[in-house]
Chain A
């Protein structure tokens, strides 16, 4: 089966611009997660979708970040307007089940650089 895919792999934008990241989970995985890793630091949880509903968005940094998952398939994460501190690698992951025992499968990440 195809893995989690993310697009683009790398994005360089100027401060104040808008960027939209896309994630396509593994087919049949209802649970979709967004994470972010700022250079050298831990990978931090941003939010969790179950199908098209936001289950937990407690990790979203502020209202400049908007995540959607219309139709419960792919998801987008929009940053508007981007700030310098938004630079980092954004990972998407998906899992089959809702139980905490299920491992999450990660995409390759989108490296966002805000200049």
Chain B
């Protein structure tokens, strides 16, 4: 069975500082990894994905994520946080060719002005 863990319910960071939102996963096959963001009263928006290739994936709004196979992690990062980045972030995984996506519980990111 596949699973995703987001160990932090909330992350607080000062505006302009780098941010990291953590995600670890467990799959039996090859992982397809995704990050989504949910702004208040909005649906989930796709940020980025890792399928294969370069371990550092760049996505929307200046976000990037690093795939680490040995640590089974896919942490979301941004060099300089903006107040507008404040939202709920979900990590998700698919096991190889299976269609079912498993999500983490979400991490609330609060960027403090």
Q: Which residues of A contact B105 (CB under 8 A)?
A: 40-42
Task: Give the CA-CA distance A55 to B36 in the complex, in Å.
Answer: 24
- Is the beta-carbon distance between A101 and B32 smaller than 8 angstroms? yes
Is B22 part of the binding interface, using a Cβ–Cβ cutoff of 8 Å?
A: no
A43's nearest neighbour on chain B, judged by CB, is: B103
- Is the beta-carbon distance between B97 and A99 smaller than 8 angstroms? yes
Tell which of B44-52, B65-73, B76-84 binds the partner: B44-52
Q: Which residues of B contact A93 (CB under 8 A)?
A: 44
B99's nearest neighbour on chain A, judged by CB, is: A48
Count chain B residues whose beta carbon lies closer than 8 angstroms to a beta carbon of A.
Answer: 27
Which of B46, B95, B98: most chain A Cβ within 10 A? Answer: B46
A88-108 CB contacts (< 8 Å) to partner B: 91, 93, 98-101, 103-108
Q: Which residues of B contact A7 (CB under 8 A)?
A: none
Given contacts A106-B44, A108-B43, contact A42 B97 (CB under 8 A): no
Task: Give the CA-CA distance A44 to B4 in the complex, in Å.
Answer: 12
- Is the beta-carbon distance between B36 and A106 smaller than 8 angstroms? yes
B44's nearest neighbour on chain A, judged by CB, is: A106
Task: Give the CA-CA distance A103 to B92 in the complex, in Å.
Answer: 10
Interface size class on chain A is 20 to 34
B81-113 CB mask vs A (1 if < 8 Å, else 0) is 000000000101011111111111110000000
B11-45 CB mask vs A (1 if < 8 Å, else 0) is 00000000000000000000010101000011111
* Given pairs A42-B105, A56-B99, 14 additional interface contacts (CB within 8 A): A3-B43, A42-B102, A42-B103, A42-B104, A43-B92, A45-B100, A59-B100, A99-B97, A100-B96, A100-B97, A103-B34, A106-B45, A107-B43, A109-B43
Can you list 29 residue pairs at the A/B interface with Cβ under 8 Å? A3-B43, A4-B43, A31-B99, A35-B103, A42-B4, A42-B102, A42-B103, A42-B104, A42-B106, A43-B106, A44-B103, A45-B101, A48-B99, A58-B100, A59-B100, A91-B43, A100-B95, A100-B96, A101-B32, A101-B51, A103-B34, A103-B46, A104-B46, A106-B43, A106-B44, A106-B45, A106-B46, A108-B43, A109-B43
